[in-house]
Amino acid sequence: MSVSAAGSASRSSVVLGGRSVRVLAAVLGLAVGAASACTGGGVGGSEPDGGGTGGASTGGATSSGGAAQPGTGGAVVGSGGASTPGTGGNTASGGASQPGSGGAPGSGGTAQPGSGGATAGTGGRSGTGGASNTGGVSGTGGARTGGATGSGGATGTGGARTGGAPGTGGAGTGGASNTTVTCTWPTAAGSPVSLSASMKVTGSYDGGMKRFVGSGPLGGSGQDEGQDPLFDLSDGATLSNVIIGNPAADGVHCAGTCTLKNVWWEDVGEDAATSRGSSASLVMTIDGGGAKAASDKVFQHNGAGTMVIKNFCAQDFGKLYRSCGNCSTQYGRHVQIENVKLVPRSGSVVAGVNSNYNDTATFKKVTVQAKADSITICQRFTGNNTGDEPPKNGAGADGKTCVYQPADIVWTP
């Protein structure tokens, strides 16, 4: 009796033990499934770091909490939805990251497969902020050449938030020039030299910046025609570093090709200098120096050939240059005026030429201390050989007789 009871008790313990094992397996399956569900639906990267809140992993290998599937040795049955058991399950996607300030949105981290249930993806890193917009550099005002200060260009527009290049400011525009034209007159060296007869010059003569004045027959300073000069230059001669004072008679005569270098006239008489000679190839060159107080003409061209006036300053004059309008023998004459400064009086003319004899006058770098177009740059005449006063027939650039562009004449009122 006791043996049987003991046997029954022992058998009951085995049966109850088997059931206990099964119940224990089921409980363990529920616990593991719940743990898997918790592990698979983890929180993604924290929001401040650029990642959104990770959604609960529905793709995690959450085993069905329904009927437990027997596994070998007692398969672990997870609780959760109706997903089938898998090995690791699908990778849960991390929450979409919020874009950083100015930078590209951060990419969600790749989730690593979880054990039993997928581990939630790691939230994306915060995007790197774009470079701060830099405003365009303000434009620099135009260089002032005596006029009004140029206005600075508008401030450039800053680049895009993705670090665009700074805008470029517009360049300022300089004002008009208001430079004053002045002739700087030299100081004479030593005592004045008085000439009662024309000084003949062959070859070269350097006056050493002495002042020469006329006396006796050369003591006139009016506009009478036919006066003799203080200096009479032969063909090929050069006169330099001379100051011609008052009285000046008829200044300088040139018989052919000649050069006047750094010659100054303090008070022009009949004319400052006259070109004579019949060869079309002769050239009279006035280089440097200056003249003032010419009642009529500064330079008179009676012969043939070309006169070159450059690096010269003239003040208070009637005409800077005149091709003879009524000489008994006429020629086609040419003048080149370059890099000269002029301080005219009302009614002044820079050059007078005879269009009917095919004269030409060219101008470059001429600066005039006067309002624009207030004096005549190039006056055309109809010349004659009878001694009559030649009539005017036009003025200004025409591309044939009077040759220059607007930019060749600078007005400084």
Give CA–CA dist 278/333, Å, rounded: 11
What is the torsion angle, in degrees rounded to the nearest 10, for the CA atoms of residue 305, residue 306, residue 307 and residue 310?
-160
Per-residue confidence (pLDDT) for residue 207, from 0 to 100: 98
Give CA–CA dist 199/124, Å, rounded: 102
Q: What number is the average pLDDT over the span 231-235?
A: 98
Return the closest-CA partner of residue 45 out of 124, 101, 118: 124
Binning pLDDT at 50, 70 and 90, where does residue 38 land? Answer: very low
Classify residue 27: in a domain, yes or no.
no
Per-residue confidence (pLDDT) for residue 329, from 0 to 100: 97
pLDDT digits (tens, 9 = 90+) for 97-113: 344 343 343 344 343 44
Q: Are 370 and 411 in contact (CB under 8 A)?
A: yes
Classify residue 165: in a domain, yes or no.
no
Classify residue 330: in a domain, yes or no.
yes
Per-residue confidence (pLDDT) for residue 221, from 0 to 100: 62
Residue 343, burial from CB neighbour count under 10 angstroms (0-12, 13-18, 19+): buried
- How many independent structural domains does the chain possess? 1
Length of the chain: 413
Classify residue 341: in a domain, yes or no.
yes
Q: What values do phi and psi take at 50, rounded to 5?
A: 105, -20
Q: What is the CATH number of the domain that holds 327?
A: 2.160.20.10
Which H helix or E strand runs over 284? strand 283-287
Classify residue 350: in a domain, yes or no.
yes
Residue 163 has pLDDT above 60, yes or no: no
Give CA–CA dist 109/330, Å, rounded: 101
Give CA–CA dist 125/80, Å, rounded: 31
Cis peptide before 85 (omega within 30 of 0): no
Classify residue 212: in a domain, yes or no.
yes
Give CA–CA dist 62/98, Å, rounded: 28
Residue 185 has pLDDT above 50, yes or no: yes
Classify residue 327: in a domain, yes or no.
yes
Per the structure, the complete domain to which residue 397 belongs is given by: 193-411
Per-residue confidence (pLDDT) for residue 182, from 0 to 100: 77
Residue 138 has pLDDT above 70, yes or no: no
Q: What number is the average pLDDT over the span 316-326?
A: 98
Give CA–CA dist 376/218, Å, rounded: 33
Classify residue 226: in a domain, yes or no.
yes
